[in-house]
Amino acid sequence: MAPREGASEGKQNRGGLPEGGFRLIEHSHKTRLVTRLRTYLLTGVIVTAPISITIFLVWKFISFLDSHVASLIPAQYNPETYLPFSLPGLGLLIMLAFLILVGMLAAGLAGRTLVHLGERLLSRMPIVRSVYGTLKQIFETVFAQSSRSFREVVLIEYPRRGIAAIGFVTGPTRGEIQSLADDELVNVFLPTTPNPTSGFLLFVPKKELIRLDMTIEDGIKMVISGGIVTPEQEARQIAPPAPPGDSVRTTSTAPEERLHGRERAEREPAVVS
């Protein structure tokens, strides 16, 4: 009987647990340590990757300008000729000074005349005029300070009612398309995920738009990330219903009220007095 008791006592630890319990606890500690190290590694990648990539792209851009723009300066006017070291960012400064000078000249009467003559010359070239006209219209739309419609993010019911999609207003609809519609239409660019450079051009009635408070940058981030990156939203008070004359709705009402209000109205029977 004594050997059995000793054998049973040898299989137990001081706490009354079997010896295998130490091995299980030790394995659990190792698993937690590996999990923590993996979490720290992923956190470090998430923190350092955007900063590193941004610094790398900026440095490559500055190096490209330094190698291609600064080399156009004659040697006697290049400050790097008289210095024992190179000046990073010299090409960027030269490019900025050149653009400012061109803007000053184009703002004057003589500059506008030269630009007009150059545009008339380009308009006579079959292929070049199409490319130039398209690029000019895009840049004027993006950089025009008076146009705020391009800086607006909206929600539209697409591809069917009850499903919302993010769109970017590019301007009011004009011409033949607007003349054929009864309601006031708005041009909405509907980007695709994760490549926002492709998408669809939709002509949406202005009264059916749901205007968002997020900036155009936040909207693009949300589209590229597939909804992973969501802009922060401040607490808002629920505003009273908009009057019938208000053509554009805002995000002050609840999302389900905005997206499904029309469906509930259609399902409810009409009351005839």
pLDDT tens per residue, range 258-268: 455 555 545 55
- And the tokens for 248? 């554009």
Answer for the pair 224, 193: CB distance below 8 angstroms, yes or no. yes
pTM flag (> 0.75) = no
Asked if the structure places residue 155 within a domain, the reply is yes
Q: Look at strands 185-191 and 199-205 and give their pairing.
A: antiparallel
Residues in the chain with pLDDT < 50? 1-2, 5-10, 22, 24-25, 146, 235-242, 244-248, 250-256, 258, 265, 270-273
Cα(268)–Cα(264) distance, rounded to whole angstroms?
A: 6
pLDDT of residue 178: 92
Q: Give the integer Cα–Cα distance in Å for 261 and 241.
A: 12
pLDDT tens column, 144-162? 654 555 668 999 999 888 8
Residue 144 pLDDT = 60
Q: What does pLDDT average to over the chain? A: 76
DSSP-derived letter for residue 237 is: P
| 34 belongs to a structural domain | no
Domains identified in the chain, total number: 1
What is the pLDDT at residue 50?
87
How far apart CA 215 and CA 253 sit, in angstroms, is: 19
User: Is 203 within a domain?
Assistant: yes
Yes or no: say if 176 and 189 are a contact pair by the CB < 8 Å rule: no
3-state secondary structure of 231: coil
Sheet containing strand 210-211, strands side by side? 199-205, 185-191, 164-172, 152-157, 210-211
Q: What's the CA gap between 82 and 224, in Å, rounded?
A: 47
Positive or negative: CA dihedral 178, 184, 186, 190:
negative
> Would 73 be classed as within a structural domain?
no
Structural domain contains residue 95: no
- The answer to whether residues 84 and 78 touch, using CB atoms and an 8 Å cutoff, is no
In this structure, what token pair is assigned to residue 126?
A: 């079959």
What is the span of the domain harbouring residue 171?
Answer: 147-230
In a domain, residue 260? The reply is no
Q: For the chain, how many residues are written?
A: 273
209 within some domain: yes
**Any domain includes 153:** yes
Q: Which residues pair with 30 in a beta bridge?
A: none
Structure tokens at 209: 């738009």
